[in-house]
Structure 1
């Protein structure tokens, strides 16, 4: 069989999987290929959420990462394209039963590694695609075999916060042809001889040990790396804010709530007309039930409630910090933190890290407190936009009065006081035009 994709190199490791740079064998187009191991029902549920959300967005918005296809790894040397509109039923069954079904020795091998991994507390919760913009090699690498156990960080998300598991990479043998294509691409799986049908029971794949997501390639890194590696530029910052507001309005119109918006989960694609930012990493996203409890549109979306504490500390809304039920308006708060940080270049260093992050916060003596946590403790806290204690130059000029008013609305402690995503998209453009006219 012919190879559909070639793997060039590993470019990132994160919370759930490994990301490779690759190429489409037929066209040479660069792609990002993400391998997600199916080692626990909790991980599988997040993978299916990510797959479902990315399929819903398809390639319909320039500021949302595009999914080209999905393949199921059903053996050490076998990958099968997943049909459009279908979910792998064995994985769905695993999430419903609460135990991984039908994966045999491969899963047992990876579960042994998982049981040896230590727990550590963190507020980062990232899937890091940071290496996507540093490609130099053109050599073709073969994918690792199913027995390759990578540095997997599996997160457990509870109402008290987040945890991650880490394990050391162990490399064994290689496989020669993993990313295969059929005569009709992703439209239907290949016909297999009877000797291979042992991996199917009544047409259902039973031994999927990993999902491979093939996505568009972003060569500008994540938003932190892109902006902080360049001198401040007001026009660039405004463009980023406008593009992100458009992306979230699009996602919310499809009833997708991201629940983990932060600069790490925004990738940048370089283009002749300027950079395109792309919202990515939908592992914690939720698709709301059509219709909801109210009327259509954003109004009903704000009535869909969630209870799982999801997100990253410096971007979580007050109601999420407090363990309350929350709505899509939590995304608006996260955007407000990002917008404020982007427009004024506000950064922080997370404990134990030397890498600057974009994000707004409250100073408590020598300690930095996430803005959402501070507002949960004191809903009447006066948020000062623009920030008064400014960092060392060079810095962009502070946002104008109309933009400041919008940011304060986005960062309101009361979720109902924040604009909806559709309202936000309109107000961003109006506020920037008003400030430009002054």
Structure 2
């Protein structure tokens, strides 16, 4: 690793891996380096999905995180670059067989390899942790978030839906395929939660963020990529002199189809219930088959939260999360929009939200924008606008409301 890149410090801990700030040895360019331990076939399958999706996007869109290279770790100090378009066959075989190829080594030897690897990369204090789809403390980087307002509503921990997760006690994979390392562009603004909530509300900035997200999702859907886990945590920000540039990231739950077929988007159907509970569409909550239109619902939740600065707290934490919700009962229990709409498809959402917003407050969205938000959050997927029409619809609504 030290011949190609230097690892500086940990800046984030994601769904199944750890992200470091690093530099390219030859050029000094700052990069983000994500380590994905190949410990079981379920995790490996997610890693290969992420790699395949990121290779498909390459560096072709400014609002999608760019993958520079991928390295396969085959020993404590042995890494080799993967050629473009190639997948590591041992990992593919592990997924197909349902067991890690070459994992018949003794536990003592595996443990010794893991210890040596951690010492080599000065990561002995780091441990890959289980992650769930429940709302939980955000992955920390060097940017400190603002202290949350005491009135920020909270979401109880036991109400969240869990994603597949690896157990705490799993040992690292075999010597031949210890980990994948993804080298990506570095985003100095943190994620969308950290960036927006650490600054006073600004309508022009919020509108720019929303339009950029429209462009990113239209690009992904045009390639046949359904993200399936769109949320502020998975949107990174690059700070520039002209304003924030947002980057959609984390493709571990994404799925690929044929994209446009004869100029028409291919609406492949999915059945796996996955995502993050506050952003999942009603059809996903209900366990129905769903299409890329589930991403549009997730965008609607994000747009509403960004435009009105709607936040909540995970119980036991002090870090705010951007996200819209429905209050239930006298206690004000928070229910994700998708879950509420699955239970009652005729539920009338109150847009703009006139309470539970984080001060200082931005101006509420105008009538045209509110109408568009209701379309994005429709319980019927077919009633939501497709991604390729979304940016034009957003621009038109914002222009009408500005008058």
TM-score tier, shorter chain, comes to 0.7 to 0.9
Q: State the match for 2:168 in structure 1.
A: 167
SS at match of 2:215: helix
Q: State the match for 1:70 in structure 2.
A: 70
Alignment of 1:91-106 (within 5 A): 91-103=91-103, 105=105
Task: Return the alpha-carbon distance in structure 1 between the equivalents of residues 183 and 135 of structure 2.
Answer: 25
Structure 1 position 344 matched with structure 2 position 313: no
- Name which of 297, 306, 319 aligns with 2:264: 297
Q: State the match for 2:251 in structure 1.
A: 282
Aligned length: 370
Task: Return the alpha-carbon distance in structure 1 between the equivalents of residues 32 and 143 of structure 2.
Answer: 11
Task: Return the alpha-carbon distance in structure 1 between the equivalents of residues 358 and 50 of structure 2.
Answer: 39
Q: In 2 relative to 1, CA 392–425 (structure 1 residues): closer, same or farther, beyond 3 Å?
A: closer
Task: Return the alpha-carbon distance in structure 2 between the equivalents of residues 286 and 247 of structure 1.
Answer: 16
1:209 Cα deviation (Å)?
A: 1.3
Q: State the match for 2:320 in structure 1.
A: 356
TM-score by length of structure 2 reads 0.85
1:250 Cα deviation (Å)?
A: 0.5
Alignment of 1:108-119 (within 5 A): 109=110
Q: State the match for 2:188 in structure 1.
A: 219
SS at match of 1:90: helix
Would the aligned equivalents of 1:36 and 1:210 in 2 still touch at CA under 8 Å?
Answer: yes
Would the aligned equivalents of 2:75 and 2:175 in 1 still touch at CA under 8 Å?
Answer: no
- Name which of 373, 378, 384 aligns with 2:344: 378
List gaps (5 residues or longer) in structure 2. Answer: 115-127, 145-160
Q: State the match for 2:225 in structure 1.
A: 256
Q: In 2 relative to 1, CA 390–39 (structure 1 residues): closer, same or farther, beyond 3 Å?
A: closer
RMSD after superposition? 2.9
List gaps (5 residues or longer) in structure 1. Answer: 135-159, 171-204
Alignment of 1:199-214 (within 5 A): 207-214=176-183
TM-score by length of structure 1 reads 0.79
1:125 Cα deviation (Å)?
A: 8.1
What CA deviation, in whole Å up to 9, does each residue of 1:337-380 have, x standing for no partner? 00000000000112332211000000002200000000000000
1:119 Cα deviation (Å)?
A: 7.8
Would the aligned equivalents of 2:311 and 2:322 in 1 still touch at CA under 8 Å?
Answer: yes
Would the aligned equivalents of 1:125 and 1:311 in 2 still touch at CA under 8 Å?
Answer: no
Q: In 2 relative to 1, CA 322–9 (structure 1 residues): closer, same or farther, beyond 3 Å?
A: same
Q: In 2 relative to 1, CA 265–5 (structure 1 residues): closer, same or farther, beyond 3 Å?
A: same
Task: Return the alpha-carbon distance in structure 2 between the equivalents of residues 291 and 276 of structure 1.
Answer: 27
Q: In 2 relative to 1, CA 38–120 (structure 1 residues): closer, same or farther, beyond 3 Å?
A: closer
SS at match of 1:27: coil
Would the aligned equivalents of 2:36 and 2:47 in 1 still touch at CA under 8 Å?
Answer: yes
Larger deviation: 51-60 or 423-432? 423-432
1:403 Cα deviation (Å)?
A: 1.1
Q: State the match for 1:307 in structure 2.
A: 271
Would the aligned equivalents of 1:44 and 1:95 in 2 still touch at CA under 8 Å?
Answer: yes
Q: State the match for 1:21 in structure 2.
A: 21
Would the aligned equivalents of 2:222 and 2:260 in 1 still touch at CA under 8 Å?
Answer: no
What CA deviation, in whole Å up to 9, does each residue of 1:181-206 have, x standing for no partner? xxxxxxxxxxxxxxxxxxxxxxxx98
1:7 Cα deviation (Å)?
A: 0.8
1:49 Cα deviation (Å)?
A: 0.3
1:118 Cα deviation (Å)?
A: 10
- Name which of 91, 99, 123 aligns with 2:134: 123
Would the aligned equivalents of 1:341 and 1:358 in 2 still touch at CA under 8 Å?
Answer: yes
SS at match of 1:402: helix
Task: Return the alpha-carbon distance in structure 2 between the equivalents of residues 169 and 251 of structure 1.
Answer: 34
Would the aligned equivalents of 1:15 and 1:125 in 2 still touch at CA under 8 Å?
Answer: no
